[in-house]
Amino acid sequence: MLAYLHRHINSIWLLLASVGLGLLFVFPDWITRDSIAAYLDGLASGALLAYILICMTRSLLMIPVTPFVLAGAITFPNLLILVFAISITGIAVGAFLIYSFPAFGGYDRLLEEKYPAKIALLKEKMHGQHSFLIIAGWSFFPLVPTDLICYVAGIARLPFRKVVWPLMVGEIPLVTIYTFIGSEFGDWLRL
Helix or strand (DSSP H, E) at 43: none
Q: Are 66 and 185 in contact (CB under 8 A)?
A: no
Largest CA distance in the chain: 53
- For the entire predicted model, the pTM comes to 0.70
Residue closest to 148 by CA, chosen among 157, 135, 159: 135
Confidence of residue 89 (pLDDT cuts 50, 70, 90): very high
Question: Does position 85 have pLDDT exceeding 90, yes or no?
Answer: yes
CA dihedral defined by 162, 158, 139, 47, rounded to 10 degrees? -90
Q: Are 125 and 137 in contact (CB under 8 A)?
A: no
The angle, 0 to 180 degrees and rounded to 10, between the axes of the packed helices 146-155 and 107-114 is: 90
* Residues 105-131, mean pLDDT to the nearest whole number: 76
Could you give the percent of the chain with pLDDT greater than 90? 6
Residue 5 confidence (pLDDT): 55
